[in-house]
Structure 1
Amino acid sequence: MEPYLVPAEAVSVSEEIKKSRFITYLAPVKGSDNAKLYIQKIRDQHPTARHHCWAFVAGAPNDSQQLGFSDDGEPSGTAGKPMLAQLMGSGVGEIAAVVVRYYGGILLGTGGLVKAYGNGVQQALKILPTRTQVPKSEYHLVCDYAQLAMVEALLLQVDGQILQADYGAEIGLILLLPTLNAESIADKLRDVSRGALLLSPVA
């Protein structure tokens, strides 16, 4: 998995279209469950709004298992889909969008709604600060006590971390490492330990 952009913080934009107020929120979320919690949080902040339409790309931008959207009472296809299209077109992952609409009494028509919801997300994306997310995976490593300092020094160099350590006759480690570099990290560990340190993926 390649590195990808994620939101560095939450942002919001607001605009009035034909007396309806549209407030667009974008926020970092990791996983569909967190995205749904965030959507509920925005609903709770705006209990009197007519619609709370939403879309999310809650994993990597190309992970189709972590997508979702809802028109929340607007005509089918006029809110959630155009919002999701903007998110997917941005190439940003781990992101949720909620557009809150306070209805002003004038109907916008389907074309007007598609434009209002899609444009809200587009405007928010323009001001969204992002950072690069490097996909990481868990690996298992067994080392002796004399090798631990060497392993820790290597982890510092490669932006890895120790998630768990079991101290027995030897030390069993669960490591979190950048997925793309795992093979070269495994090679380094083998080289510095003359073949003693063997990295294996956590199943």
Structure 2
Amino acid sequence: MSTSPSGPVPSLPSTVAGASEHTTVVKKSRFLTHLEHVASVAEADAVIARVRKDRWDARHHCVALVVGTDADQQRSSDDGEPAGTAGIPMLEVLRHRSVTDVVAVVSRYFGGVLLGAGGLVRAYSGAVADALDRTPAVHRALMERVLVDVPYEDVGRVESAVRDWAGTHRSVLVDVEYGTSAVLTLLVPPDRVDVLDGAVAAWSAGTLDVVRCGSAVVDLPGDVPGAVPPR
């Protein structure tokens, strides 16, 4: 992936916003997919338990979950369907879409027609894929949070320069807090912080600098230039 100033923000696995549900019907069987953002395996287990309780009359509740900043915790369950026909295909969809911190529960109401192994694989994986297509994605990146403390007499000029700089350096000005001075907060890719520091020094004849507040995985605001969903 490009790391040029105008290139895309290096992305991590994305996630989903909130919770959503979607129903598909295959040969009279109904597949009700519940997708939900979770922050841990424990939260995922609570979602699974809730879905099982709410849909107690479904024949199967098949599960796939991926958790962790780097999608390093993964689990699936066929819940009584033939081995390898439900949970793993669901999990493969989550992996292929590069999503994390999400649990998918597909509850099947049997319609009386056997689907066969191949039919089950297509039905369960398709149910999750369709649900993901209809669920808002939240894209993430490792960004550095930085502050620039600006005297009031300079804030208009410096804020304008910062906004222009952010627009060409994959960054975003997320807040301006006014107190005894104006404090500008930015999200900046780690490889651009030194560049910003030099620019701020140039704008202020060396009187201002950039304060690093640490890096974090953040949900990308929609106006971060070059932010692209993972493929």
Band the TM-score falls in, shorter-chain normalisation: 0.5 to 0.7
Deviation per residue, 1:20-66 (Å, 9 max, x gap): 32212344x25335544544443343132232222234466xx2325
Instruction: Report SS of the residue matched to 1:202.
Output: strand
> Are 2:140 and 1:124 equivalent residues in the alignment?
no
Q: CA deviation at 1:85?
A: 0.9
Q: CA deviation at 1:82?
A: 0.3
Aligned to 1:21: 30
> Are 2:195 and 1:188 equivalent residues in the alignment?
no
Aligned partners of 1:155 and 1:161 also within 8 Å:
no
Instruction: Report SS of the residue matched to 1:189.
Output: helix
> Which of residues 2, 18, 33 is equivalent to 2:10?
2
> Which of residues 195, 198, 203 is equivalent to 2:210?
198
Give the partner amino acid of 1:45: D
The unaligned stretches of length 5 or more in structure 2 are 1-8, 216-231
Identity of aligned residues (%): 33
Q: Provide TM-score, normalisation by structure 1.
A: 0.65
Aligned partners of 1:12 and 1:124 also within 8 Å:
yes
Note closer, same or farther for the CA distance 1:101–1:200 as it changes in structure 2 (3 Å cut). Answer: same
> Which of residues 38, 55, 67 is equivalent to 1:46?
55
Aligned to 2:221: none
Structure having the higher helix fraction is 1
4+ aligned runs moved over 6 Å, structure 1: 147-151
Aligned partners of 1:30 and 1:59 also within 8 Å:
no
Distance 1:128 1:24 in 2: 11
Q: CA deviation at 1:139?
A: 2.9
Distance 1:139 1:152 in 2: 16
How well do the aligned residues superpose, as a CA RMSD in angstroms?
A: 4.1
Distance 1:148 1:36 in 2: 49
Q: How many residues align?
A: 195
The unaligned stretches of length 5 or more in structure 1 are none
Aligned to 2:141: 135
> Are 2:199 and 1:161 equivalent residues in the alignment?
no
Deviation per residue, 1:103-132 (Å, 9 max, x gap): 45665454443232122223334x425556
Give the partner amino acid of 2:39: G
